[in-house]
Amino acid sequence: MWRWQISKLSTKSKLRRFSTSLKSKFEDEGSWSYSTQWWGSDSDHHSHSVFRATSTHGNGVVSVLSYPSSLPATNHWPKTEEWLRKRYAEVCSDAKHDECFKVLGYQWRVLRFNDVTRQSAVKVMAAIKMSDTSSVYYMQQPHVLAVPYTKSMVAAGFTALSSTNYDLVNAVNGNKQMRVLCVGHGGGSLPLFIASKIQGAVIDIVEIDPLVIATSIQAMGFPLFSVAVPSGCHALSKPNTMDEVLWKGVHERLFLYESDAEKFILNTENVYDIIFIDAYDGNDIFPRKLWDPDSPFLLALGSKLHPCHGTVVVNLHSDDDLTADAPVAALHQPVLPMRKYVSRVCQAYKDMLVGKESSFSKNQLPGVGFTITVPWVCNTTLVLCRGFGVGAGSLDQDLVLSSLMSKSLEMRWKKAFSLRNVVRFSSDTNAFSIDIAGKLVLLPARL
């Protein structure tokens, strides 16, 4: 049952809060209740560095720290070892004997810039082949989203997309292709999660820093075969045996490009169903050219977004929404340097992607923009959605919220792609669920 609490209306915008009391039987290994294992002071953890190098693309010192993970417990490891054995037998059907595997353990691995900013947190499994114990294979766990803002981006984005009457169920089941773009890679948890849960998703990932790409593969268990060249093909002609064993085709739908986001958007011919943007540099700054209304990137982004249902999701660092000219306490400046620009970013994206009524045909449903505050961390999720399926004309806030909630429940009932606050998973199906939590604000015409 949904619980919907209506807050007081402000003169600037109308606020709604909604949450759910639905429960799931599935364990979420990335639940915030486990965050003490990978979040907080390093002095409280038994951590050690597994990667450290200096970036030449503005990210400063790029490092990865590892932390022990309590889940999955050791009694579950034999099940994974048996899964690896069966997968190897499928891939190497001509093998003379079965290959046995041993799981060495699971770790949280946290990507940092300049030893301060936690850019990404992933869970990694380490395993060896018993016939060659000198080689260790690392596999990022694709079902684990640890940082709350990544859960918010997935939840809000796909709820909005399904509200356009986009056939999300068939995309999840692999009966239709979904084109996805991720601007900013980090450890790769978001694109890997989407690729593993949505069988029809073909995902382009754009990352400007080759060191971040190398780090995600070498230290965070992202599939090597995903690396792509400008022509649109994978850099490797075929995946190696262990890529096939670990990823079972997921890696073939990931295309990881080393490219400037502006250059990629200007040159690609792809039209995307949904675009995720999470691109911060070593100083924790969202580059101006990715949100300036006069930038080539934002001017071109609209033409790469599907005109009838295209959805854009942007991660913004902020715990409240200050106007561009509002003073920001000096104490907060080093912590949230983008905070004072959030309103300006939201306005630029809304105007360029969904806010200009003249750019839509008479028969086309209007677009909508909204933000959601992310629980526990200082982030805001911005969502812009074309063709919101609640009828033509002016969008009423109540209709928007009702549509978001009904679509979330509809996907849950279909047991294909349901959206709730904490991510939970089924081990034998592609079903998962995420709740949207926090305060939702429908963006007005002018902020």
pLDDT along the chain (447 residues), means of 10: 27 33 57 85 75 93 94 96 95 84 97 89 97 94 92 89 88 95 97 94 97 97 97 95 93 97 97 96 86 94 94 80 40 46 88 66 66 82 82 60 71 42 34 48 64
Instruction: Identify the CATH class of 2-28+147-208+259-442.
Output: alpha beta
pLDDT score recorded for residue 325: 42
229 Rama sector, left if φ>0, alpha if ψ -120 to 50, beta otherwise: beta
pLDDT score recorded for residue 280: 87
For 444, the 3-state DSSP assignment is coil
pLDDT score recorded for residue 142: 94
pLDDT score recorded for residue 397: 66
**How many distinct helices (H) and strands (E) make up the chain?**
10, 17
User: Is the bond preceding residue 72 a cis peptide, omega within 30 degrees?
Assistant: yes
For 292, other C-beta atoms within 10 Å of its C-beta total 15
> Are 19 and 73 spatial neighbours (Cβ–Cβ below 8 Å)?
no
Place of tokens 């074309």: 386
Q: Using CA atoms, how far apart are residues 217 and 50, in angstroms rounded to an integer?
A: 12
Outline which parts of the chain fall under CATH 3.40.50: 2-28+147-208+259-442
Q: Using CA atoms, how far apart are residues 146 and 123, in angstroms rounded to an integer?
A: 8
pLDDT score recorded for residue 153: 92
> Are 304 and 265 spatial neighbours (Cβ–Cβ below 8 Å)?
yes
Beta bridge partners of 126: 105, 138
Could you tell me which of 185, 193, 194, 191 has the C-alpha nearest to residue 258?
185
pLDDT score recorded for residue 364: 52
> Are 403 and 390 spatial neighbours (Cβ–Cβ below 8 Å)?
yes
Could you tell me which of 149, 154, 163, 153 has the C-alpha nearest to residue 310?
163
